[in-house]
Amino acid sequence: MERRHSLMDSPLGPLTLVATDGALSGVYMTDHRHMPPRETFGARSAEPFPQAVAQLDAYFRGELREFDLPLHLEGTGFQRLVWKQLTLIPYGETRSYGQLAAALGRPGASRAVGLANGKNPVSIVVPCHRVVGSTGGLTGYGGGLANKQRLLTLESGHVEAPPGALF
């Protein structure tokens, strides 16, 4: 497997994009909670995956609601099921961990769904930020709760934000 990575600027700060054999395998924010060791990202490249950069830029401009990128996701079978379920959450909507567990036919697996959600290697593209607590409140996010709120605000269409906010 050939891995390469690059950095791109975003309203959330720099994003590290990782490509494995030409497919997007990582999107990591600065200080991402579950980021693999950087030495596993492969050589740095000016732009190993231009489609990902273009689609992420369009997303941040509010012009893209669904990503169409080849993905290379490494995880357990259960993690991949959860990540697939995340892609079914429509832009601008949220689901609770319990709702995701029920959709997977495992209503008692909310905690396992939360753990799998937290290990999502392609944040934003596989929209783990759209998962909230059972009362609708923000819960953990690998890129930080402030970034989760920024992404949800972007998707809600409410771009007014307090001074200093990114959107």
Checking if the pLDDT of 131 tops 90, the result is yes
Asked if residue 1 has pLDDT above 90, the reply is no
Is pLDDT above 50 for 165? no
Range(s) for CATH 1.10.10.10 in the chain? 77-156
Please, is 49 exposed, middle or buried when counting C-beta atoms within 10 Å of its C-beta (0-12, 13-18, 19+)?
buried
- 3-state SS string over 38-76? HHHHCEECCCCCHHHHHHHHHHHCCCCCCCCCCECCCCC
Please state which CATH number belongs to domain 77-156. Answer: 1.10.10.10
Residues facing 28 on adjacent strands: 16
Give the domain 3-60 fold: Double Stranded RNA Binding Domain (3.30.160)
pLDDT tens-digit readout, 3-40? 999 999 999 999 999 999 989 999 999 888 888 878 88
Q: Identify the DSSP state of 37.
A: P
Count how many residues are written for the chain. 167
Active site residue 128: yes
pLDDT digits (tens, 9 = 90+) for 65-87: 999 999 999 999 999 999 999 99
Residue 112 pLDDT level (bands cut at 50, 70, 90): very high
State yes or no: pLDDT of 164 exceeds 50. no
Report the C-alpha gap between 69 and 65 in whole angstroms. Answer: 13
Catalytic entry in 125, 128, 131, 154 = 128
Residue from 134, 128, 127, 84 nearest 104 by CA: 84
pLDDT score for 158: 57
Q: Is the pLDDT of residue 135 over 70?
A: yes
Q: How far apart are CA 77 and CA 81, in angstroms?
A: 6
Q: pLDDT above 70 covers what percent of the chain?
A: 93
Mean pLDDT, rounded, for 52-60: 95
The boundaries of every CATH 3.30.160.70 domain in the chain are: 3-60
Position 109 scores a pLDDT of 92
Radius of gyration of the chain from its Cα atoms, rounded to whole angstroms: 15
